Amino acid sequence: MPSLILSTAARYLLPLLLLFSVFLLLRGHDEPGGGFVGGLVGAAAFVLVGIAAGVDQARRLLRVDPRAALAAGLLLAVASGLPGVALGRPFLTGWWVTLPVAGGAKLGTPLLFDLAVYLVVLGAALTIVFALMEE
């Protein structure tokens, strides 16, 4: 029998946990945190929905196969190292671009690598947990 309290809590906690996981992802650019812990918090959000409403509902809310997220993360990790090679530097050398908006915000390849780690951790954790929950 599904718990009304748990399913209501999961519905309200999902967006908050996902927002917190993005905060952890972005905070890790210059401070501790980053893609790994953000990916774990994001995966925990969908696991909570899976426990409350079932794996099928969690998969529908995720909107992408966890293995596809894992593969996209691996491709993005490789792609984040290529700008350094293109500039004649070693693989995974950091490279930044200053944007003319938002007071000259800097975006760089380390942020892309953190996003790649986020996707890999999210995809791997959800692949394992969903497989265990479906058994």
* pLDDT the model gives residue 32: 64
pLDDT value for 82: 92
Q: Which long-range contacts (CB under 8 A, 24 or more apart) does 54-61 make?
A: 55/130, 55/133, 55/134, 58/130, 59/130, 61/14
- The 10s digit of each residue's pLDDT in 2-52 is 789 999 999 999 999 999 999 999 887 667 668 999 999 999 999 999 999
**Exposed (0-12), middle (13-18) or buried (19+): which is 34, by Cβ within 10 Å?**
buried
Q: Which H helix or E strand runs over 105?
A: none
89: Cβ contacts below 8 Å, ≥ 6 apart: none
Residue 101 pLDDT? 75
Number of domains in the chain: 1
Measured at the CA of 49, the angle between CA 42 and CA 56, to 5 degrees, comes to: 110
Q: Mean pLDDT score of the chain, rounded to an integer?
A: 91
Per-residue tokens: 28: 């890790």
Name the pTM for this structure: 0.90
Query: What is the residue range of 33's domain?
Result: 4-134
Give CA–CA dist 86/1, Å, rounded. 57
Instruction: Give 102's pLDDT tier (boundaries 50, 70, 90).
Output: low
Q: What is the pLDDT of residues 109-135, one digit of tens each?
A: 888 999 999 999 999 999 999 999 998
Q: How many CB atoms lie within 10 A of CB 120?
A: 21
DSSP state, 94?
Answer: -
Q: Is the pLDDT of residue 105 over 90?
A: no
